[in-house]
Each structure stands twice: as C-alpha cells, then as structure tokens.
Amino acid sequence: MIEFFLQPWPWYVAGPLITLVMFLLFYFGKTFGVSSNLETICAIGGAGKFNSYFKLDWRKNTWNLIFVFGAIIGGFISYQWLTPNEVIALNPQTIQDLSEIGIKNAGQSYLPAEIFSLDALFSLKGILVLLLGGFLVGFGTRYAGGCTSGHAIVGLSNLEIPSLIAVIGFFVGGLIMTWVFIPIIF
Amino acid sequence: MKFIKFFIVGILFGIILSKAEVISWFRIYEMFKFQSFHMYGVIGSAVVLGILIIQLFKKGILKNKDGEQIIIPPKKNAFKANLFGGIIFGLGWALVGACPGPMFILLGRGVLAILIIVFGALLGAFVYHGVKRWMPN
C-alpha cells in the first residue's frame, strides 16, 4: 500500500479519482471549477475599486477558496511525504525534442529549470515568460468561462457544447504554443 | 467547521494531481506533442466516468447530501468567447504548463516562480473584466 502511494499514479487511477473529487463537490451542493477563484481573489484584493464587477459578494465562494487552500496543502503533503523522487517517465522522444530547443534534463524533476529555477525567475526573460503565461491563463479562462476543471471535466461530463468548444480552443492554443512559439522562445 | 469537507476534498485533489504528474510542465508539453497517452488517459477516464455519474444524477439515482436531485448549472453558450477564450487559455497553459488547479498545487510544493504565474493569472482575470465589453462574445 505504501509502495503504491510513493510511486507515480497511472492515469487509470488519477482520472477516476478526479471524477470522485467532482462528485464529492456535487454531493456537497457545489460545482467543481478552480478558475473562478481568480475573480474571488481579485475581489478580496480590492479590485472592486477599479471595476464594479468585482464588487461581488465573494463570501458565497468561500467554500471554493477553502478547496484551493486544501489543494495547496495537498501539494505540500505530496511534496514532503509522497514523492521520494520527481523523475518522470517521459517519452524519450520528448526528452530529445526538448534538448534540441535548449531545455535540458527533461523528466528529471517535475519542472524545467529553464522556466522555474531562481535564475530564471530573476532574469527579465524568465519573469516575462511566467507573467505572460499566467496572464494568458487567467484572461483566457475567464473569457472562456472555465478552465480544465469547469470545462474539460465538468462540462464535458455534462455533454455541454460550450465546453467542447472551449476544450477545442484549449488544444488549438496549446498546439500553437508548443509547436510554434516554444521553439522560438527557448 | 462546515467548510472542513471542502478543505479535505481540496487536499485530495492536490495529492491526486501531484501523484499523477498532471502538475508537471513536461507532461503538458508531452501531451501537446502527442508523445504520451498519460494526460489523455487522465482527462479521458475522468470524463467517461463523469458522464456515467452525471447520468445517475439525472435519473435521480445519485442525490446530494440533503437527498435532493443534483442539478448542474449549464455553461453559458457563447461560441466566440468559448473558442477565443479557450485558445488564449491554451497558449498560456502550454507555455507555463499549469492551469489554475495545478498552479495552486505547485505553490504548496514551494515553487517560488509560481507566485509570478499566479499574479499573472489574477492580472489576466482582472484585465478581462475591464475589457470584456469590447471582446467578441
């Protein structure tokens, strides 16, 4: 049992467990969706002074902030106790492709040092990449009306056409970034 | 105390996505290169099982904790917003390898650079609501 917890979990374990998370939130009367927390945090941070949209009654979203706080703690717990090493069994082709565009040691840890290390963080290019990526995610998810949880998991499970269109959009954007821009940026 | 259940479900979510490497930039890159089934398996199996469970909601077989039928709020039908917003989101997702859930989970793993991404995401959500009246919807 302990052995299982310490190994990476295969997709057929993780996928159904994500469905369980979705179900539990429905069971407790809520709907799974992480990105609306971005608006809630903006509202708490005083964004209502600049835009009346953010004068929303964010207290009704408290449950979701608590959920996200739990996710942060879940990340901490898995980092501290459940991940003896972060080596990822990537496709060797992926490792080679990344090495050709200057991203070394792919799969030796969860994140590439070229983007997430302190050196990257304290360089102008590094900080711009992080800021831009975050901005696109935040802007896009609110424009599309949901992210991977709200659209790809809940929306597709509920056979919603808007979610299918959004998920197609996620892939169009992701493919353009991966195949066209990432080789230029790095 | 009524919120503690959400805290526990959140912890579960954070552990699942960590242990399945969904929070890894490399896994996202590999997915968009079509070089692994892993991410498709995670999302695909979650959705297939999700479809079955939601059918049980609709038939009234699975109910919420108060014994009421579970009704899912429909997504807004706005073709251009779904598509263009989706594309913008996808560009960011592939660049930093993190959608909103994994962003927060990585924060818990002590990745400092994530703070900039989260700040960017908050800024993005803030700016969207400033300019949305000019955006095709």
pLDDT tens for each residue of A2-24? 888 899 999 999 999 999 999 99
Is the pLDDT score of B1 beyond 80? no
Question: A170 vs B76: CB contact, 8 Å cut-off?
Answer: no
Give percent of chain B above pLDDT 90.
95
Q: What's the whole-number average pLDDT of chain A?
A: 96
Share of chain A above pLDDT 70, in %: 100
pLDDT digits 0-9 by tens, B4-27: 999 999 999 999 999 999 999 999
Which of A63, A159, A178, A185 is the best mutation test for B, with the most CBs of B within 10 A?
A178
Mean pLDDT value of segment A74-103: 96
User: Band of the pLDDT at A32, cuts 50, 70, 90?
Assistant: very high
Do the Cβ atoms of A75 and B106 come within 8 Å? yes
Q: Structure pTM?
A: 0.96
Rounded CA-CA distance B14/A172 in Å is 27
What pLDDT is recorded for position A2?
Answer: 80
Tokens of A175: 């493919």
Q: What DSSP string describes chain A?
A: -HHHHHSPPPHHHHHHHHHHHHHHHHHTT----STHHHHHHHHHTTGGGT-GGG-S-GGGGHHHHHHHHHHHHHHHHIIIII-S-------HHHHHHHHHTT--STTSSSS-HHHHSHHHHTSHHHHHHHHHHHHHHHHHHHHHT--IIIIIIIIHHTT-HHHHHHHHHHHHHHHHIIIIIHHHH-
The average pLDDT across A47-52 equals 95
* Average pLDDT of chain B to the nearest whole number: 96
Q: Mutation target for A interface from B28, B53, B103: give the one with most A CBs within 10 A.
A: B103
Please report where in the chains the tokens 């299918």 appear, as a residue.
A164
Phi, psi of B134 (to 5 degrees): -95, -5
Taking an 8 Å cut-off on Cβ atoms, the answer to whether B94 and A15 are in contact is no
Question: Which tokens sit at A5?
Answer: 């917890």
Give the integer Cα–Cα distance in Å for A33 and A146.
Answer: 7
Return the SS3 of B137: coil
> Which residue bears the tokens 């565009």?
A101
d(CA A141, CA B125): 8
Number of neighbouring beta carbons within 10 Å of residue B52: 11
Cα–Cα distance, A103 to B124 (Å, whole number): 27
What pLDDT, on the 0 to 100 scale, is given for residue B122? Answer: 98
CA nearest neighbour of A96 among B29, B37, B87: B29
- All residues of chain A having their beta carbon less than 8 Å from the beta carbon of residue B54 are 157-159
Q: Is A58 on the interface with B (CB under 8 A)?
A: no
- ipTM of the shown complex: 0.97
Collect all residues of chain B within an 8 Å Cβ-Cβ radius of residue A77: 11, 14-15, 108
Q: Do A75 and B108 touch (CB under 8 A)?
A: yes
Per-residue pLDDT for A41 more than 80?
yes
Per-residue confidence (pLDDT) for residue B10, from 0 to 100: 98
User: pLDDT for A168-180, tens place per residue?
Assistant: 999 999 999 999 9
